[in-house]
Structure formats: C-alpha cells, structure tokens
Amino acid sequence: MQLNTQFMWETFLDVLQGIPVTLKIVVVTLLVSSPLGFLMAVSKSGEGRIGRRIIVAYVSVIRGTPVVLQILFLYSLLPTVLNYLIKEVLGSSYNIFNLDPIFYAYVVFILNTTAVLSEVFRSALSTVNRGQMEAALSIGMSRPQAYVRIIMPQALVAALPNICNTTVNLLKSTSLAFMMTVKDITAIAKIDASFGYNYLEAYLVIFVVYIFLCSAVQGVFHLTEQGVAVYKKPVVS
C-alpha cells in the first residue's frame, strides 16, 4: 500500500479553505451560547420555578440525545417548517431551500452548546461562596452589582477549563456539519477523496488539521487562564 502524497498535499490546500467555515461555526455558536448559557445558569439557581423546569427539561433532552440524531432531526424538520411559515404565514416568495446550510449548523450547535454551557456555568457559580454575595449586600451593593463585579468574574475563571473542554468538543462536533451539506473541513476532505477513492489519505490529512486546531484552542485557553487568575497566585516575595 502506498500513500498518494501528491493528493494529500492538494487535499491539505483544499481543506485550508474549510477552516474558516469550521471556525465560523465555533465562534458564532460560542458568542450566542455563552450569554444564553449563563442566563440559564443564573435563572436555574434563582427563584422562578417554571423557568427552572423548562431549563431542566431542555438540558436533559439535549444531553440525552446524540448530536447526530439532533442534526438529522432538525435538518429534516426545520426547512419544512420554515418553508411553511414563510410561504403560508408570511406570504413571502423567499425560497428557504436556497438558505446557506450553515444556518442549520448554527441552530444545532447553539442548541447543544447552550445546554452544556448552562451546566458549566451553574457549577462554576456554585464555587463562589455565598458569603461574598452577603458581604457585597452588607456594604450596600445591589444584587446585580454584586453579580457583575464580584460573582461573575470569579465564576468565569472557575469555568474556563470546562469552557475549553466544551469548545474543543464543539470544534470536533462541527465535523458532523457535512451531514447538512456545510462545506467544512471534513466535507471538503470527503469530496476530494471521493473522486479517486483516496479516503485514507484524506482522513489522515484532516486528522492532523483537527489535532492542530484543537491544540491551538487549548493553548489559547491555557494562556487566558494564566492571565485572568492573578488573584489565585501565591505572592512572590
């Protein structure tokens, strides 16, 4: 057996064009999911009983089903529903089937990551002891002020390792976006491979690409952790 190195190099160059797509899904998902997940974590630890039940149900549905199934399900359901809404309810002539499939990828991964992050933030919030909230109230700060200035910054630092995990998992999950015809790294490799049945070579190439990307993400988080956790460092005297 011999590897077609020429093909591997060409595939690598092709795949590079998929990296922005993959990263776009990751970044958009994180930007939307982080605040949503945080709000859910806060309201889960708050008083609203109905809200809490809805959140618990949502999280267990998402966590209790495979991502692949979520993709298959939503990718079958969403276009049909949206088409009906646009045509019948809004009376518009917009063709939903022309929509860039990356939007479906956003929806699936946002739904997923929000659920995961809400749990990440919930556990992070619980690491900040209640006494600090009381101390803030006792010197006259309001609850929101205490949250923003005292509790949140510490919770975020505590959450960083888990956010890193979530991000890496998300990045890897985006390889499933090819099922929704999104041209990400994996999709490009598969397409290239299918012309001459060079699947092994194509997969080897993106193997390396994913390792590189995931390592980069972990590196970034590692540096951030060191930067923000100054208050945890012992004093050097």
Q: What is the closest distance, in whole angstroms, from the C-beta atom of residue 138 to other proteins in the complex?
A: 4
Size, binding site for other proteins by CB under 8 A: 25
Q: Which of 85, 149, 208, 216 binds other proteins (CB under 8 A)?
A: 149
Q: Which of 139, 195, 197, 227 binds other proteins (CB under 8 A)?
A: 139
Q: Which of 141, 191, 204, 214 binds other proteins (CB under 8 A)?
A: 141
What distance in Å separates the CA atoms of residue 184 and residue 15, rounded to the nearest whole number? Answer: 8
Residue number, 45 or 145, with CB nearest to other proteins: 145
Q: Is 153 in the site for other proteins (CB under 8 A)?
A: yes
What distance in Å separates the CA atoms of residue 224 and residue 226, rounded to the nearest whole number? Answer: 5
What distance in Å separates the CA atoms of residue 34 and residue 164, rounded to the nearest whole number? Answer: 12
Burial-class residue 232 by CB neighbours within 10 Å (0-12, 13-18, 19+). Answer: exposed
User: Where in 166-195 is the site for other proteins (CB under 8 A)?
Assistant: none
Among candidates 173, 212, 206, 209, which has minimal Cα distance to 25? 173
Burial-class residue 118 by CB neighbours within 10 Å (0-12, 13-18, 19+). Answer: buried
Tell me the window of 72-80, 127-135, 167-175, 184-192 that interacts with other proteins (CB under 8 A): 127-135
Residue number, 117 or 146, with CB nearest to other proteins: 146
What distance in Å separates the CA atoms of residue 59 and residue 114, rounded to the nearest whole number? Answer: 9
Binding-site string for other proteins from residue 218 to residue 237, where x marks contact by CB under 8 A and - marks none: ------------xxxxxx--
Task: Name 132's Cβ contacts closer than 8 Å, sequence gap at least 6.
Answer: 146, 150, 151, 154
Q: Which of 17, 132, 181, 194 binds other proteins (CB under 8 A)?
A: 132
Contacts to other proteins by CB under 8 A: 128-129, 131-132, 134-142, 145, 149-150, 153-154, 157, 230-235
